[in-house]
A and B are shown apart, each in its own frame.
Chain A
Amino acid sequence: MKVGSEHTLPPTACVARAFRQYALLAVVFSLVFTADGVVRASDYPNRPITIICPWAAGGGTDRVSRRMAFELERKLQVPVNVINATGGKGVTGHNRGLKSRPDGYTLTMMTFELNTMHWMRLTDLTYKDALPLVSVNEDYAALLVAADSPWQSVSDVAAAIKAAQEPLTASGTAAGGAWHLALAGWLDSADLPAEKVVWIPSAGSSPSLQQLVSGGVDMVCCSLPEARSLLEAGTVRALGVMSPERAVGFEQVLTFGDQGDSWTLGGWRGLGLPLGTPPEVVAKLRDTLEAIVSAPASQPDSFAAFMQQQKFDSTWRDAEEFEQFMADGDAKLGKILQSEALAAVSEDRFNPMLYPSLLFGIGLISAGWCFVSRAAPTEIPAATADASAGDVAIQSTRPWNAILCIASIALFALVAEQVGFVIVSIALLAALQILLGTRPPLAILVAVILGPAVYLLFAKALRVGLPMGWFGW
C-alpha cells in the first residue's frame, strides 16, 4: 500500500472538496439532461422504443424489423431503434425481448423459431410467454435445385430419394432451423426414407445457395424471396413451394399441393410484447401496427409496398388470429420434432466435444512447447523489447490501479441498468481520474462534460440503446 503513503489527502477527501467546488456545475448539467427524461410519466410513448431482432443485421428479419421501426417512428413520433440480439439460434433475442421490462418500450420481432426452440429443449420460452401484437409476414419453404439438375418436379426428387444408394445432401439453414424442419416434415409426411437425405447445416440461405450453385449440395430448402435473384438469373430452379396457395410474386412456381402432396410449412414474423404490459399500451400498439400493415401496397411508401418490393409475402394477421396461428404451428411442429424422422435433429452426427477437446490438446502441447522454447537461449529477443520496459516499471508497480480499473468496470455492469448511464459514467470517469492522479476539480470537470457527451453521441446520434435508469438517461 505505497499508494496512500505518498499522498496526504485520501481520495475520498479530494472528491468531497471537489464536489463542493463543482456541485453547481454538475447540477446545471444534470438539469439540462433531465429536461429529456422527467416527462416520462405522461402519455405512452414518450421515450425511444426498441425492437429486438433475434437475427443478424442484413438478413430478412432485420430488414423487416428496420422498416417496421421506420414506420412506427413516423406514427408514434418517438425514435424507434433496432437491436440485433443474435445467437443461440434465436434463443438469445427472443428471451431478451420477451423477458424485458413490460412497459411497452421493448418490442420483439418474433419468428418461427419461437415455436421450435422449446421443443428442442433450448429454452423454456414458448409462444405463451408473448403478448402477440400483429404478424407481418409468412414465407413458405420451397425446394430448389441447381439449373443443371435432372429433377424437374417434386415427384422426381421423391423418386430419386427412394432410389438413392448414397444419401443425397440438402442444405438451407442451421440444424433444426425452419427449412430443415420443412424438409424433414415433408419426408415424414410423404413416407420417404429420412436417412437418405443428409442435412448439411449452414449459417443461412445465402451460403447454402452458393453451395447449391457450386455443386456442394443436391438441393436447398429455403424461402423463395431468399433465392429471388438466383431464380431470376436462371441459376437455380424452384420445384415447388410448401404453401397452401402460390406465392405472391412467384406465381409460376407450383405448390406441393399442385403436385399431389398436401405438405405445407412456412416461417413467419410478427411483433410481440412481454406478458404484463399495461392493456392501454397494448391497445395503442395494436391499433398503430394494424394501421401500418393494412395500408394498401398501391399506396407508395407503405409497409406493404416495401414488402412487395423486397418480394416478401405481406400476409398479416391481427393479434387474435396471430395467437391462434402460433398455437396451431406449435402443435404441428411438436409433432414433427418428436417424430422419428427427426430424431437426427436432436442427435448430433458428430460428438460436439470432439473439436474442443482436440483444440484443448493442441493448446496443451503448444503451451508445453512455449515452456521448452523459453528455456532455450535463442528465443525471446522480440518479447523482451516490450517486457523489459515493463520490468523497469515493475519497481513502481501499483497493482491497486489495475484492480480499481477492473472493479469500476464490474461496478458499471452491475449498477448502470438501475441508475442510468449518465450518472454512472460521470462517477466512473471522475473516480478513475482521481485515483490515477488527476487533480479532483479537473477530473470532475472532464467527467461532467465527457459523460453526457458520450451519451449524446451514442444514444442520440448513433441510436444505441444505453441504460436508462432512474431518470431515463
Chain B
Amino acid sequence: MEILTDAFYLVIEPTTLLVIVAAAMYGLMVGAIPGLTATMAIALMVPLTFYLNEVAAIAAIVTAVTCSIFAGDIPSALIRIPGTPASAAYANDAYALTGQGKHRLALKLALYASVAGGLLGTVLLVIAARPLAAIATQFTSFEYFWLYVLGLCCAIAVSDRGQARSLFALTLGLLFSTVGLAPDFSVPRLTFGLNELINGISFIPAMIGLFGISEVLRVAVTLPQRRPHSGAPSAQASAQGSVQASTPEATVGAASFVFGRKWALIKSSSIGGVIGMLPGAGADIAAWISYAVSKRSSKHPERYGQGTTEGIADATGANNAALGSAWIPALVFGIPGDSVTAIALGVLMMKNITPGPQIFDFAENAQQATLVVCLYFTFVLANLVLIPLGLLAIRTGGLLVRIPRAILLPAVVLFCIVGSFSIAASYVDVWIMLAFGCLGFALERWGIPLAPIVLGLILGGPLEHRFLQSITVANSPLAFVDSLISVVLAAGCVIVVVLPWWSARSALR
C-alpha cells in the first residue's frame, strides 16, 4: 500500500507531469510525421533522459510512445500515409472515411479506441505480467514461425478484393524482403549488382511510397489545372463533411460507439496484449490479427477495406494494447520486446535499475517496486493525457483537408521525401520510395491491395529467419507441431484461411 502512495506522489510531481505533457506533444508530432517512427522518437529523447530522474525518464518514454502510435493514424486517415507501420492495416479504411467527409469521426474513433486499448493493455500488464511472461519463455523458433505465418494468413483473410490478389501482394512483399544481405547468409541476394541494395529494402520508405506517393500520383493525374476543388472526389466530399462533422454529436457519437464496442475492444486488446509481449512481434502484427478477427465476427464484413468503423476501432485498440505488454519481457527477463523497450531498458540501467524477476519482489526491494508501480501509473496518465491533446491534434490535422489539393500535394511530396530520407539520411531510401510509389500506383490500377505488401516486407525477414532456424534444429517435420502453442497457432492459420471459404460456400447453398 505504501508503495502505491509513494509511487502516486512521485508521478504527480509537477516536473513529472510537465514532462508527460511535453512528451505527449512531442510524441504526437513525431508520430504524425510519416517516416518518423516511435523508435526514432525515443532514440532522440535519450540524451534528454540524462537530465531527468528515473520516474520522469520512464514517464517521458512511455508517454511519447503511446502518443506517437496513435498519431500515426492522423496522416493515414488524412493523406493515406501511415505515420507508423502499426497503422498500415487499416489505412485504407480510415482514408475511405475521410473520402466520405468523415475524417473527424475516423480519427476520434481511433483516438478513443487507442485510449481504451492502451488502458486495457495496462491492466493486462498489471495483473498478468508473470503468467504471460511464462508463456513468452516457451516461444522457440517454431512458435515464432507459426505466429508470423498466422499474421500473413490474416492479411489474406481480411482481403476485400479477392484472396488471390492479397496473396499476390503478400508474395510480392515477401519477395522484396529477401533483397540484400540477410543475417542467415553470407552473400547478398537479389541486389542485381547494386551495392546500395545490400542493405535491403527498408519498409518505411517502401510504405511511404506505396501509400503516399501512389495516392499523390493518382490524384495528380485526375487533377484539372486551375480548378483545384473539382478534381479529387475526396477533396470535394471533405469540404462538405468537415462542416457537418464538427458538430458536437460527432464527439459523442465516436465516444459512445467505442463504449458500445467494449466487448470487441476487450477481445482485440487482449489479442494485442498477448502478441505485443512477444519479442519481435509487436504492435504491427497485433493490428493485423485483430483486424482479421474483427472482420470475422462483424455483421458487416463487406465494409472492411471500404471505411469500416468497427475494424478501425478494434485494430487501433490492439496496437495500443500491445505497447503496455511489450514491457513484460523487458521487465521480467530484461529481454526487450521491441526496439522501444530496448532503449528504455538502457535508460533504466543507467538509473541503476536492473530488470529481472526480482523487480516484482515488492518486499525485497521497495525502491524498484515503487518504480514499477510508477510505470503502471505512467501508462494510465499517458493515455488520459492523450485524449485532450489528441483531440487538439485531430482538429489541427483536420485543417489539412481544407487545403486545396494543388497546394497540399506538393507538400505531401516533400514530406514523403524528407520522411524516407530521415530514417538513415540516405538517398537510396528516397529512390526506394519513388520506385514503390510508381509500383503502388500501377498495382492499385490493377486492383491489387497495397497493405499486404507492407506486411510481407515487415514479416518476410523474420519469417525466413525463424524458418531456417527451425529446420536447422528440427529432426523431423513433426517438430513444427511438437508443442501445444505451435499446434494452436498452426490451427489458427488453417481456420483463418479455410473459414471464409467454407462460410462463403455454405452461404451459396
A residues with CB within 8 A of B: 3, 6-7, 50, 56-59, 62-63, 66, 69-70, 73, 82-89, 91-92, 96, 120, 122, 166, 169, 173-177, 198, 200-203, 206-207, 209-211, 213-217, 228-230, 232-233, 235, 306, 309-311, 345-350, 352-353, 355-356, 359-360, 362-363, 366-367, 369-370, 372-373, 379-380, 382-383, 385-387, 389-390, 393-394, 396-399, 401-402, 404-406, 408-410, 412-413, 416-417, 425, 428-429, 432-433, 436-438, 442-443, 446-447, 450-451, 454, 458, 462-466
Q: When the two chains form the complex, which single residue of B141, B172, B182 contacts A211, counting CB atoms closer than 8 Å?
A: B141
- Report the separation of the CA atoms of residues A59 and B346 in the bound assembly, to the nearest whole angstrom: 9
Closest partner residue, chain A, to B355 (CB atom): A229
With A228-B334, A462-B30 as contacts: A396 and B180 at CB distance below 8 Å? no
B142 CB to nearest A CB, Å: 8
- Report the separation of the CA atoms of residues A226 and B406 in the bound assembly, to the nearest whole angstrom: 52
Dominant secondary structure at the B interface = helix
Contacts of B475 in A (CB 8 A): 166
Which of B82-90, B311-319, B391-399, B421-429 forms part of the interface with chain A?
A: B421-429
Q: Is A437 touching B430 in the complex (CB atoms < 8 A)?
A: no
Which of B64-72, B112-120, B219-227, B363-371 forms part of the interface with chain A?
A: B219-227
- What are 6 inter-chain pairs, A to B, with CB distance below 8 A? A87-B200, A92-B198, A200-B469, A214-B137, A409-B416, A433-B410
Contacts of B220 in A (CB 8 A): 398, 401-402, 404-405, 436
Name 10 extra pairs, CB < 8 A, besides A57-B339, A405-B217, A450-B414. Answer: A86-B199, A202-B465, A235-B357, A359-B178, A370-B448, A379-B162, A409-B213, A413-B434, A458-B418, A466-B421
Q: Is B198 touching A425 in the complex (CB atoms < 8 A)?
A: no
Closest partner residue, chain B, to A396 (CB atom): B224
Q: Does B405 make an interface contact (CB < 8 A)?
A: yes
With A92-B198, A356-B189, A450-B411 as contacts: A202 and B183 at CB distance below 8 Å? yes
Q: Is B333 touching A229 in the complex (CB atoms < 8 A)?
A: yes
Contacts of A82 in B (CB 8 A): 43
- Report the separation of the CA atoms of residues A370 and B161 in the bound assembly, to the nearest whole angstrom: 10
B285 CB to nearest A CB, Å: 16
Which of B16-24, B163-171, B238-246, B291-299 forms part of the interface with chain A?
A: B163-171
Q: Does B335 make an interface contact (CB < 8 A)?
A: yes
Q: When the two chains form the complex, which single residue of B305, B342, B406, B414 contacts A206, counting CB atoms closer than 8 Å?
A: B342
Q: Is A83 touching B184 in the complex (CB atoms < 8 A)?
A: no
Q: Does B486 make an interface contact (CB < 8 A)?
A: no
With A398-B223, A409-B413 as contacts: A87 and B162 at CB distance below 8 Å? no
- Report the separation of the CA atoms of residues A69 and B404 in the bound assembly, to the nearest whole angstrom: 42
Q: Is A402 touching B424 in the complex (CB atoms < 8 A)?
A: no
With A306-B350, A346-B186, A348-B185 as contacts: A201 and B30 at CB distance below 8 Å? no
Q: When the two chains form the complex, which single residue of A174, A233, A367 contacts B334, counting CB atoms closer than 8 Å?
A: A233
- Report the separation of the CA atoms of residues A86 and B198 in the bound assembly, to the nearest whole angstrom: 11
A304 CB to nearest B CB, Å: 13
Within 8 A of A (CB), among B21-77: 30, 36, 39-40, 42-44, 46-47, 50
Q: Is B279 touching A210 in the complex (CB atoms < 8 A)?
A: yes
A178 CB to nearest B CB, Å: 13
Closest partner residue, chain A, to B471 (CB atom): A350
Contacts of B174 in A (CB 8 A): 359
Q: Is A87 touching B217 in the complex (CB atoms < 8 A)?
A: no
- Report the separation of the CA atoms of residues A429 and B406 in the bound assembly, to the nearest whole angstrom: 10
Q: Does B188 make an interface contact (CB < 8 A)?
A: yes
Q: Is B199 touching A385 in the complex (CB atoms < 8 A)?
A: no
Q: When the two chains form the complex, which single residue of B185, B357, B427, B447 contacts A387, counting CB atoms closer than 8 Å?
A: B447
With A91-B181, A348-B185 as contacts: A396 and B222 at CB distance below 8 Å? yes
Q: Is A406 touching B186 in the complex (CB atoms < 8 A)?
A: no
Most buried by A among B40, B160, B334, B471: B334
Q: Does B3 make an interface contact (CB < 8 A)?
A: no
Q: When the two chains form the complex, which single residue of B162, B223, B233 contacts A437, counting CB atoms closer than 8 Å?
A: B223
- Report the separation of the CA atoms of residues A458 and B162 in the bound assembly, to the nearest whole angstrom: 41
Within 8 A of A (CB), among B300-353: 302, 305-306, 329, 333-336, 339-340, 342-343, 346, 349-350, 352
